[in-house]
Amino acid sequence: MDIDFPFVLTWAVIVSGGIWLIDHLAFRPRRMRAAEALRASRGEKASEEAIEAVLKEPVLTEYARSFFPVLLLVLVLRSFLAEPYQIPSESMVPTLEVGDFILVNKYAYGIRLPVLGTKIVEIGNPERGDVMVFIPPHEPRYFIKRVIGLPGDRIRYRNKVLTINGQPIAQEYVDEEIVGGRVYYRVYNETLGDTNHQIYNYPARLEVEREWQVPEGHYFVMGDNRGRSDDSRRWGFVPDHNVVGKAVAIWIHKKPGLHWPTFARNGLIN
């Protein structure tokens, strides 16, 4: 089961901040009055050790006060600026490989409240060709795909070729992989908007021709590894409030298993 880290982090900030605030408003003044009473009753006989013992914070409050600013800073950075994300599957090969650690720009598509996803500041919207991180409508965990269709677009997928609003998206042959004397997959260059990227198509994989009309406030997404991607072709559209951010760069790569991380794949994401 995936851990909802933003949810856990948000509650950690609320709980630690609440403990510190309650102590500051309610219990700290009591400790201060108790210390003053001790000084008044004992005068010069009141030792500094005794006064410090009265003023001493409970262990829980001490931990809460120490962790609250750190947790709050992490929450702000992850919610409004940038967030790391690890590629778990082959759905975006060859653009992204399993083991890539990427940086997600959280403010490219507007500033949103953590956990709720409500947009509070408009900055921009997903563009065709963007690599986007989001929560799909059928599963409460992060996915990453390429934006194909914008609100209002009509998408058709036939013979492994995209058509958007009646315009076929050109594919330029690059290479192919032969396995057992047969073509396993072919590599093509594809251009969506201002973005040029490579895709994999699998000739032996049969796909039914389909069309979709993208509703307002939603996006149609697909993986670059077209024959190995669970995307909008199966589960539908991505609501705008489920958008997390724009994938902008690969900052480190680690192959699964006992392998050292490398920086060989560092670079911006097309």
Rg (CA), the chain: 27
Q: Single out the catalytic residue among 91, 106, 229, 246.
A: 91
Q: Single out the catalytic residue among 16, 79, 106, 145.
A: 145
* Phi, psi of 71, rounded to the nearest 5 degrees: -65, -40
Return the ∠ at Cα 110 (arms to 74 and 98), rounded to 5°. Answer: 65
User: How far is residue 243's CA from residue 231's CA, in Å, rounded to a whole number?
Assistant: 14
Q: Which residue is listed with tokens 């509703």?
A: 215
User: How far is residue 153's CA from residue 213's CA, in Å, rounded to a whole number?
Assistant: 6
Taking each helix axis as running N to C, give the angle between helix 5-22 and helix 59-76, from 0 to 180 degrees, rounded to the nearest 10: 140
User: How far is residue 260's CA from residue 255's CA, in Å, rounded to a whole number?
Assistant: 8
Q: How many Å from the N-terminal Cα to the C-terminal Cα in the chain?
A: 31
User: How far is residue 80's CA from residue 118's CA, in Å, rounded to a whole number?
Assistant: 12
Cis amide leading into 94 (omega within 30): yes
> Does the active-site annotation cover 91?
yes
Q: Which two tokens stand for residue 229?
A: 């991607």
* Phi, psi of 267, rounded to the nearest 5 degrees: 160, 170
Q: Which two tokens stand for residue 68?
A: 């609250």
> Does the active-site annotation cover 145?
yes
* Three-class secondary structure of residue 238 per DSSP: strand
Residue type, 159: N
Catalytic residue annotation: 91, 145
